[in-house]
Amino acid sequence: MHLYVANDYQELSRRAAQLFIEAVSRKPDSAVVLATGDTPMGMYRVLTEHIRAGKLDTSQLLLFQLDGYLGVSLDDPRSLEGWLVRSVLKPWGIPSDRFVRLPEDATDTDLVCSQYDEAVRRIGGFDLAVLGLGPNGHLGFNEPPAAADAPTRVVSLTPESLKSNARYWGSQEQVPRRSITAGMDVLLQARHILLLVSGERKREILRKTLFGPVTEQVPSSFLQLHPNVTIFADRAALPDEAALSRSS
Ligand code: PGA
């Protein structure tokens, strides 16, 4: 794992965007799975500026939704697909035929989950996964315990995720109880994983992610076994151990 430490959130967003630009410039038809949540929004905004300035060509990019809340329609303000449409697809000019959804309003969830995994398999896996870090170590909504080979599926949110997601929607009561998430299997098979971690409240889970035992109880700990993970953390999120041993 490569750990880059930024002074603050702005720097983290700029450096992560730079890595994204380099990856997509090398392979313009990259298949990329993108998180919502607060942390990657700064990076997406930097990328929007580059795209609008004509400095990044997105005409061949294929994007995948990472996760969503089950039972939420697209026009519900809590739809994570809607969030991705507003923050990425529209500003980047990505048409719907280059976006693979995880439909939050699906009734046959087994079918849509297997179709998603099949779509990822057909294109040969993700080139890049842009992920945030849940306070319980979830990646997407792979809530603990999550096996490294867990498929794309429906998952009940843990109390920790209900609590941390409450800040998006005003209260815990507003947070849907179930989610649909890209599985650990397809995420860990991504050729390059970019993990963005910001703020003091992530310090303890970043410590477990980097230095704790590899365990289903901390899904992000499986990143220790992946050959190509880049973590961008700001100083506030940096555990003491990482400050001593960090690579940059
Ligand atoms: P955040 O969410 O980026 O809003 O902190 C991360 C997550 O819970 O996966």
- pLDDT of 243 reads 72
Closest CA to 146 of 217, 69, 205: 217
User: pTM for this one?
Assistant: 0.97
Assess whether 138 carries a catalytic annotation: yes
Q: Is the C-beta atom of 38 inside 6 A of ligand 1?
A: yes
The third-level CATH classification (topology) of the domain covering 2-245 is: Rossmann fold (3.40.50)
- pLDDT of 240 reads 87
pLDDT tens digits for 214-242? 999 999 999 999 999 999 999 999 988 87
Taking residues 152-174, report their average pLDDT. Answer: 96
pLDDT tens digits for 174-194? 999 999 999 999 999 999 999
- pLDDT of 248 reads 45
Assess whether 67 carries a catalytic annotation: yes
Q: Is the C-beta atom of 142 inside 6 A of ligand 1?
A: no
Q: Is the C-beta atom of 82 inside 6 A of ligand 1?
A: no
Query: Whose alpha carbon is nearest atom 2 of ligand 1?
Result: 37
pLDDT tens digits for 82-128? 999 999 999 999 999 999 999 999 999 999 999 999 999 999 999 99
* pLDDT of residue 201 exceeding 60: yes
CA of 37 to the centre of ligand 1 (A): 5
Taking residues 70-84, report their average pLDDT. Answer: 97
Residue by residue, what is the 3-state secondary structure of 102-149?
CCCCCCCHHHHHHHHHHHHHHCCCCCEEEEECCCCCCCCCCCCCCCCC
Q: Of the residues 13, 34, 39, 155, which should be mutated to test ligand 1's pocket, given the most ligand atoms within 8 Å of the CB?
A: 39
* pLDDT of residue 28 exceeding 60: yes
Tell me the pLDDT of the chain averaged across its residues: 96
Assess whether 136 carries a catalytic annotation: yes
CA of 97 to the centre of ligand 1 (A): 27
CA atoms within 13 Å, Cβ hemisphere of 221: 18
- The pLDDT > 70 percentage for the chain reads 98
- pLDDT of 246 reads 56
Point out the catalytic residue in the list 143, 165, 192, 234.
143
pLDDT tens digits for 43-64? 999 999 999 999 999 999 999 9
Helices 41-52 and 9-26: crossing angle in degrees, nearest 10, is 50
Query: Whose alpha carbon is nearest atom 8 of ligand 1?
Result: 134
Query: Whose alpha carbon is nearest atom 9 of ligand 1?
Result: 134
* Upstream peptide bond of 145 is cis (omega within 30 degrees of 0): yes
Q: Is the C-beta atom of 219 inside 6 A of ligand 1?
A: no
pLDDT band at 244 (very low <50, low <70, confident <90, very high): low
CA of 81 to the centre of ligand 1 (A): 15
